[in-house]
Amino acid sequence: MRVILSAAKDLFGGRMTAVLTVLLTSYFSLLTAQQPITPPSHLKKLAHTYSIVAYDSSTGDLGVAVQSKFPNVGGIVPWGRTGVGAVATQSLSNTDYGERGLDLMAQGATAEEALRIVMRSDTMLQDRQVGMVDARGNAASFTGRKTFDWAGGRVGGGAGGGGPAGGKGEVIVGRGYAAQANIMVSDQTVKNLAETFERTTGSLAERLMAALKAGQAGGGDKRGMQSAALLVVRKNGGYLGANDRFIDIRVYDAVDPIAELERLLALHKLHFFPSEPGDLMPIGPAIVARLEPILLSEPRGQSQKWLKQKQGSATPAFLEALQNFMYWENYDVRVRMDGKIDRVVLDDILKKRKR
C-alpha cells in the first residue's frame, strides 16, 4: 500500500494523495475483513488428525490408528467393540459417533447406516470428521465442510482395490477400512494411509502401524506431531483373556509420537502376547547356566533369593524359581512349567542385565 501511495503522490500531488489514501485504506480494510486473521474460537478443541479404522476378516479384529497435533488423541478419537465395529471421531470430536454409533452397529446397522443416523442429530455436523467400519467389513467416512484444508477421506474398495476418495461434505462408503484426515499438508497423507494398508501383510496392528507411518511420510499435519494411539479389539484378547482390549496404547505427548507408539507396541507384545510356538525351546544345561546366577542373586535388596542353591539342570526347584522370577518381572502370559522357555523372554532377561 505504501508503494501505491508514493506513486500517487508523484503523479497527482498531495491533495489528490489524501483522497486516494482514504479510498485505498477503506479498500484494503475490506480485503482484510474478508480474510480470517485469527483462528476460530473452537480451534484448540479440534483434533487436527489423521486416522484409519479397519477390519481384519481373517481374525475378526477391529482397530483404529491415529496421530494428531493434539494432546492425548487416544482419549478422544478411537473407539472399538469386539464383533461390532470401530470408529474414529475427529476434527471437533463428537463422542456420539463412538458410543451411539457402536450401539447402532451392535443392533445391526451397517457402518454407513450408523454414521448417517448419528449425523441427523449433530448440530455441528460440518465441523466433524468420522470414519467407521463394522464387523462385516462395511466402511464409511465423512468430512464436514468446515474442516480445515487439506481435509478428506478414502475407503477400501474390496478385493485389494482402492475405493472411493472424498472431500468436504461427502459421505463415502466402501469395504475394509476408512482413512481420513484434516489440516494436512496435502491429500498425500490419506493416499499413503490407504495404499500402505492395502499392500501391507501381517496382523491388523502391524498393518495399521505401517499405514500410520506412511501417512506421516506423506506430509502429515501442517502443525506437526504430538500424540498417537493404537486400539485393536479382539474377543478375549485382553490380559489373560479377561477382556477384549487386545491392544490399547496411547502416547499422550511426544516429539515423535509414532516412534514412541511403535516402541510401546513392542513392549506390549512382550508383556501381553502369549508365546509363539516357534519361539519355545527346551531349558537345557546351557540355558540353566545363564539363568541360574540371576535366580541365585535376585531379587536385589532382598535377603531371600529365588533359588537357594545351585541346581545345574532344570529341576522342579529351578523351574519353580524361574516361574516366580518371571511373574516378578511381569512376563505373566509367557510363564511355563513344561521345561521350556520363550526365546523372546530369554533374550529380554539377558539384555536387561547387560546394562
- pTM for the full predicted model: 0.82
Write out pLDDT tens, residues 312-349. 999 999 999 999 999 999 999 999 989 999 999 999 99
Cβ(261)–Cβ(320) under 8 Å? no
Question: Cell triple for residue 85?
Answer: 465395529
Mention every residue, 6+ apart, whose C-beta is less than 8 A from residue 155.
Answer: 139, 140, 141, 163, 164, 172, 173, 174, 175, 176, 177, 178, 179
Per-residue confidence in pLDDT tens, the chain, 355 aa:
444 445 444 444 554 445 444 444 444 343 333 334 344 554 444 556 899 999 999 999 999 999 998 899 999 999 999 999 999 999 988 999 999 999 999 999 999 999 999 999 999 999 999 999 999 999 999 999 999 888 999 999 865 556 788 899 999 999 999 999 998 777 888 999 999 999 999 999 999 999 999 998 776 566 678 999 999 999 999 888 889 999 999 999 999 999 999 999 999 999 999 999 999 999 999 999 999 999 999 999 999 999 999 999 999 999 999 999 999 999 999 999 899 999 999 999 999 998 6
Amino acid in the structure at residue 311: Q
Beta-bridged to residue 228, according to DSSP, are: 67, 251
